[in-house]
Structure 1
């Protein structure tokens, strides 16, 4: 069977959906690690990336099943949903790459100010840091955070602020999420194209008298 026939489209679509599954898992893991490190939930872009990863993982499973069974209805809904995922993923990826450090500082500062003292202490202990960012807080608030800080690094001369650590991790997470998401979002157009052509192929093993 030459490439471009039924088997070629089937194998290509199955392979592409396996890649989508891996990309979905990668987006979920990187986004979750970013939030777990202290990238607070006010950065809603991270939540959007997790949603994209989950939807991409689910739609890849549907695509794999529909490709293996040449299921007409599932392939149709697969094309529609995958195109919608492309639009959402493209927008979220661009937002990840476009957010500036200044905007990240504002989001972190707003959330830090709403935290209770117990929550701040927990963040400082988990990240081994003290305070947020000196330039974003009043000198009294920053001094109070330093005085109450229980982190082990306080006893050394190399104690970083929590803002520096969180922003470094945020920049790393957003660059990976934005780059990977943007690159693979264009392959989803390829997935829609493959599914459309594969859906119109005649299964050589099927009864010749049956419809597509």
Structure 2
């Protein structure tokens, strides 16, 4: 059965907003997972991704309600805000994909330097590792951290450095966030176009003389 223009546009817009809600939740969950695994607050891009995911989730709900009720004002604000979200999401996703290992090491190093000894020990226990990076630039700091390290791995075998574990999780998180964010950011242009098209269509259920 072929649906009419109004019904097809409405169904397409509703489906697209359900996808946006799922994408928003995915961005928030993966970014929170990345922060929880030692990326810490040093990589502010992660915070930006959480903000984008939250606003995408919020505007998708507005778009869904606007599409169901063919609400002119809600659809207008939906189009404007979704386009702004697209710009931010595109920029943040590109930043995630462009961040190389060297930049991540510098950010993690600066964050590690700001931590107190107790915070470092707590993080080492959580990640089961000792110290940040065992290299010539950080040798003195690493030996000091190793002396106070109380991670479970100390009693079993040589521990991995926390920097290695952090980089592994941060790289995974940034690739997922960058890839998913970049791919779905282009669908948001489709969402803006669909909302504009749907908003200008006449609701067959409405009064024929009603303002569109």
TM-score by shorter chain over 0.5: yes
Question: Which segments of structure 1 move beyond 4 Å, counting only runs of 4 or more?
Answer: 1-4
Match of 2:41 in 1: 41
Secondary structure in 2 aligned to 1:145?
A: helix
* Alignment correspondent of 1:90: 90
For the Cα contact (< 8 Å) 1:109–1:136, is it kept in 2?
no
* 1:81 corresponds to 2:94: no
Return the alpha-carbon distance in structure 2 between the equivalents of residues 139 and 83 of structure 1: 48
Mapped partners of 2:4, 2:102: distance in 1: 50
1:152 correspondence with 2:159: no
Q: Distance in 2 between matches of 1:140 and 1:4?
A: 72
- Please state how far the C-alpha of 1:134 moved relative to its aligned partner: 1.3
Structure 1 residue 13 displacement after superposition: 0.2
Runs of 5+ in structure 1 lacking a partner? none
2-structure distance, mates of 1:211, 1:116: 63
Matches within 5 A, 1:106-185: 106-135=106-135, 137-185=137-185
Q: Which residue of 2 aligns with 1:11?
A: 11
Please tell me whether the aligned partners of residues 94 and 182 of structure 1 are also in contact (alpha carbons under 8 angstroms): yes
Q: Give SS of 2:54's match.
A: helix
How many residue pairs end up in the alignment? 212
1:81 and 1:162 mapped to 2: Cα distance? 40
Q: TM-score, normalised by structure 2?
A: 0.97
Give the superposition deviation at 1:95: 0.2
What RMSD over aligned residues (CA atoms) do the two structures have, in Å?
Answer: 1.2
* Equivalence for 1:209: 209
- Separation in 2, partners of 1:138, 1:163: 11
Which residue of the partner structure matches residue 105 of structure 2? 105
Q: Which residue of 2 aligns with 1:190?
A: 190
TM-score, normalised by the number of residues in structure 1: 0.97
* Aligned-partner SS, 2:204: coil
Quick one: structure 1 residues 84 and 136, their matched pair in 2 at CA, closer, same or farther if it must change by over 3 Å? farther
Take 2:136 and 2:59, find their aligned partners in 1: how far apart are those partners? 42
> How far apart, CA to CA, are the structure 2 residues paired with 1:69 and 1:158?
62
User: Gapped runs of 5+ residues in structure 2?
Assistant: none
How far apart, in 2, do the equivalents of 1:125 and 1:33 lie? Answer: 17
Deviates more, 1:130-139 or 1:155-164: 130-139
Task: Give the Å deviation of 1:207.
Answer: 1.1
- 1:40 CA drift (Å): 1.1
1:58-94: CA deviation from partner (whole Å, max 9, x where unpaired): 0000000000000111101100000000000000000
